[in-house]
Amino acid sequence: MLVTDFNYDLPQELIAQHPVEPRDHSRLLVVDKVTGEIEHKHFYDLPNYLRPGDVLVFNDTRVIPARLHGFKDTGAKVEVFLLTRRNATDWEVLVRPGKKLQVGAKINFSDELSCEVIEHTDFGGRVVRFAYDGIFEEILDRLGETPLPPYITAPLEDKERYQTVYSRERGSAAAPTAGLHFTKELLQKIKDMGCEEVFVTLHVGLGTFRPVSEANIEDHKMHREFYTVSQEAADAVNKAKAEGRRIIAVGTTAVRTLESAGADGVLKAGGNWTNIFIYPGYEYRIADALVTNFHLPQSTLLMLVSALSTREIMLSTYAEAVKERYRFFSFGDAMFIVDKNK
């Protein structure tokens, strides 16, 4: 299957630069994953498509201010982008400019924070060891910037708007954006109607956004990300599956967590790395339906949603969304992909 099989035309002006207020007033395109039938709604209408006993699975990761600006000893400027924490001091990072930063190079960010390059990674990044005075997270909050995707060029006035209202586990380089549409009131309404809300954690890394550089999608290698599933979450999902109730993933990161930890059809508790790559031909084992945003042309995320339905249904749905002037990507509108007869 070719990467170009997942292309579509998107006018630049449909890329959302600002989130909608309130959060749940974004639009919601509901598509039947079997028939392709489409309904145009708003996100606050989501409860109308839920039923008592449904289990919604959310990713409770929190975006960290992962972009740091520093200087080499020569005075040259360096940008360091935190990806994955290895231990108390060591992080996998991206650096710009990267070519000249070899093992042993030192970068200073302030009097209280510096780092040294200790190794290269297999994706063109580096592993750095930080030295700091005080508490690393507090220093990062002071010095770091919250990274927004490159297609969002407008400044973000409220940093919390790029966090979900239920975020609590720090560690992501990007927000799990399907969750941005939920308000606390909407979450309560869904709970009150008899749905269960379950939380897992996957720290969103670079893999989510890395373009597919291979012509054939089967040749693409995903970057790995770390996930955690509590025993409580595993028990809730497995009980619902056994009783024939629906598992509704909120966001592609929740899907990746469920399908990685539930590869044999039973969700296992624990933490692990995943580089799962879901594309048409993949059979979902845990997730039955998905709340998600609209994804970039030729992206691994568009392939993932196509695997839940079909490529043809997804591309025709996207064409309809463009025609109806939906807003795309991280701050854009949402879709709910579901089998309405199940």
- Sorted by where each starts, the structural domains of the chain and their CATH numbers stand as 3-63+158-338 (3.40.1780.10), 67-143 (2.40.10.240)
- When pLDDT is averaged across residues 48-73 and rounded to a whole number, the result is 96
Q: Are 183 and 41 in contact (CB under 8 A)?
A: no
Report the percentage of the chain scoring pLDDT > 70.
99
Write down the pLDDT at residue 63: 94
Q: What is the dihedral of CA 165, 168, 172, 174, to 10 degrees?
A: 0
Residue predicted with more confidence, 269 or 153:
269
**pLDDT class for 206, splitting at 50, 70, 90?**
low
Write down the pLDDT at residue 199: 98
Distance, CA of 179 to CA of 265 (rounded, Å): 25
Residue predicted with more confidence, 100 or 67:
67
Helix 300-308 vs helix 311-323: crossing angle, to nearest 10: 110
Res 285 pLDDT > 90: yes
Report the percentage of the chain scoring pLDDT > 90.
85
Write down the pLDDT at residue 256: 97
Write down the pLDDT at residue 157: 83
Average pLDDT, rounded, for the chain: 94
Query: Is the omega angle on the peptide bond into residue 97 within 30 degrees of 0, that is, cis?
Result: yes
**Residue 219 to residues 1, 155, 222, 266: CA-CA distances in angstroms?**
10, 36, 10, 28
Q: Which residues contact 21 (CB under 8 A, 6 or more apart)?
A: none
Distance, CA of 180 to CA of 16 (rounded, Å): 13
**pLDDT class for 224, splitting at 50, 70, 90?**
confident
**pLDDT class for 24, splitting at 50, 70, 90?**
very high
3-state secondary structure of 90: strand
- When pLDDT is averaged across residues 265-287 and rounded to a whole number, the result is 96
Type of residue at 87: N
Q: Are 29 and 337 in contact (CB under 8 A)?
A: no
Write down the pLDDT at residue 291: 98
Res 14 pLDDT > 70: yes
Write down the pLDDT at residue 148: 85
- When pLDDT is averaged across residues 182-192 and rounded to a whole number, the result is 98
Write down the pLDDT at residue 207: 63
- When pLDDT is averaged across residues 171-192 and rounded to a whole number, the result is 96
Res 45 pLDDT > 70: yes
Distance, CA of 203 to CA of 211 (rounded, Å): 19
- When pLDDT is averaged across residues 321-330 and rounded to a whole number, the result is 97
Res 122 pLDDT > 90: no
**pLDDT class for 209, splitting at 50, 70, 90?**
low
Res 12 pLDDT > 80: yes
Burial class (CB in 10 A: 0-12, 13-18, 19+), 98: middle
Res 77 pLDDT > 70: yes
Res 208 pLDDT > 70: no
Distance, CA of 274 to CA of 263 (rounded, Å): 11
